[in-house]
Amino acid sequence: MVGPSRHWSRTLIALGSLLVIFASAAACIPKNRPDASTPASPPPSTPSSNAPSSNAPSSSGFDHSAALALPSLQDTFAPYFSIGAAIEPYQTIQVGDLLQKHFGRLTTENAMKFGPLCPTMRCNFTQADTIANFAREHRMPMTGHALVWHQMVPAWFFRDEKGAASLELLSERLRAHAFQMVERYADVVDNWDVVNEAISDQAGKLYRDGSEGSTWYSAFGDERYVRLAFEYARAAADAHDPSVKLYYNDYNVVKPEKRMKILQMVRELRKAGVRIDGVGLQGHWGVTWPSAADIEAAILELRAENLEVKISELDVSVYGEDDHEKKVWQAAMLDSAELEERLKKRYVEIFEVLKRNKQHLSHVTFWGVSDDHTWLNYWPLRRDNYPLLFDRAHQPKPALRGLLGLD
């Protein structure tokens, strides 16, 4: 057990590092990402004042007794697939007990992303190692997230002393990055998001280019960095553990037009002799979308292409897809009992589809643990959202009880 004063100094260090990550991440984020996320990680909030006061708070200041008294989410779903959570380093302390009880695997929310990890050519592994060491200690396999993404990538990568880096230098740096990451975490990472969100959202265009924020595409002059990333990651993995799986990860995979493009990319890569094992559906979904049928169709179609499938970043926004397009965010706020009920029904519906397709799914990872720490409180604008299974005070929500089959 960690004593209280050691605990608090570790907490302060973790919070300090979190703010550094937050600041460096924010500096790397293009401002107008159209359809997905800002990776902002807010500092943890204090427990809400209406949290039950009868039970002693846990060492994190939150009362986890109700959450810990429930059957384990991970154990409940073990016959189907394992359940993961994406976390920041400070959460290994703040929700460490919840992670051990309810989750079977981990993803670093930001700590393994290139920008926060290597703001200069000298990388700092402290944040990523904190999570990897927690995973090692508790025997939780990890997803490596993500080797190549157009956001949160350090500017130095694309330049040398004279200006734009040459193709040769870019390729060598990419190789070094892939080897460094895959080797360092080879004992704990069983699958890598090798490339994240490289496909275009624009009609008639396959790859995201500079006009959609991809410095990778602009610097390499075309999409060859995707092939190189998979080749280097494979070579690095094979040197340690050939069973490590390499994924392409993206949002809107449930939309046929996006999926068609992803499949085209996979076919072209495979034709060129590149091994790509699977596709991650991020799963940033909402209470009203996408339909269960669309989720199932996506899983089946990817499997038919001999791809492994995982749900890599699951959360369920209480705002509708139309709320996004029409920008009427605040009007979509629901009263809390109705909201809880809708969220529960929706999670149960989603997991019915996932359970039915268990033989097609590698694992399911939530993008967060509790509503006090979710990117959806910050994107696309600052507002409260309620997308996870534990509320702001870390109390289990009806949605969790629904998934556990308790109500």
Give catalytic residue positions.
Answer: 197, 313
Owner of token pair 């204090």: 46
- Comparison of 130 and 282: residue with beta carbon closer to ligand GLA: 282
Site for ligand GLA in 121-180 (CB under 6 A): 145
Give yes or no for residue 39 binding ligand GLA (CB under 6 A).
Answer: yes
Which of left, alpha, beta for 283 (phi over 0: left; psi -120 to 50: alpha)?
left
Residue 200, classed as helix, strand or coil, is coil
Site size with ligand GLA, rule: CB under 6 A: 9
Taking alpha carbons only, the member of 407, 161, 107 closest to residue 282 is 107
- Comparison of 201 and 313: residue with beta carbon closer to ligand GLA: 313
Give yes or no for residue 313 binding ligand GLA (CB under 6 A).
Answer: yes
Question: Distance (Å, rounded) from C-alpha 149 to C-alpha 12?
Answer: 30
- Span near ligand GLA by CB under 6 A; candidates 5-13, 35-43, 122-130, 221-229: 35-43
CB of 29 to ligand GLA, least distance (A): 9
Question: Distance (Å, rounded) from C-alpha 24 to C-alpha 399?
Answer: 34
Q: How many CB atoms lie within 10 A of CB 164?
A: 12
Give yes or no for residue 11 binding ligand GLA (CB under 6 A).
Answer: no
- Comparison of 115 and 396: residue with beta carbon closer to ligand GLA: 115
CB of 166 to ligand GLA, least distance (A): 29
Residue 324, classed as helix, strand or coil, is helix
Owner of token pair 């499997």: 303
Distances, alpha carbon 176 to alpha carbons 43, 87, 182, 255, in Å: 32, 26, 10, 34
CB of 215 to ligand GLA, least distance (A): 16
Q: How many CB atoms lie within 10 A of CB 241?
A: 12
Taking alpha carbons only, the member of 18, 113, 102 closest to residue 365 is 102
Q: What is the DSSP letter of 195?
A: E
Report residue 280: phi and psi, to 5°.
-95, 130
Residue in the shown chain whose Cβ atom is closest to ligand GLA: 37
Residues 216, 375, 386, 390: which binds ligand GLA (CB under 6 A)? 375
CB of 145 to ligand GLA, least distance (A): 6
Instruction: Provide the total of helices (H) and of strands (E) in the chain, helices listed first.
Output: 15, 11
Contact mark string toward ligand GLA, 257..286, x via CB under 6 A = -------------------------x----
- Comparison of 58 and 107: residue with beta carbon closer to ligand GLA: 107
- Comparison of 17 and 151: residue with beta carbon closer to ligand GLA: 151
- Span near ligand GLA by CB under 6 A; candidates 31-39, 123-131, 177-185, 213-221: 31-39
- Comparison of 77 and 251: residue with beta carbon closer to ligand GLA: 251
CB of 251 to ligand GLA, least distance (A): 6
- Comparison of 57 and 380: residue with beta carbon closer to ligand GLA: 380
Q: Got the DSSP string for 265-311?
A: HHHHHHHTT----EEEE--EEESS-S-HHHHHHHHHHHHHTT-EEEE
- Span near ligand GLA by CB under 6 A; candidates 33-41, 287-295, 342-350, 352-360: 33-41
- Contacting positions for ligand GLA (CB under 6 A): 36-37, 39, 145, 196, 251, 282, 313, 375
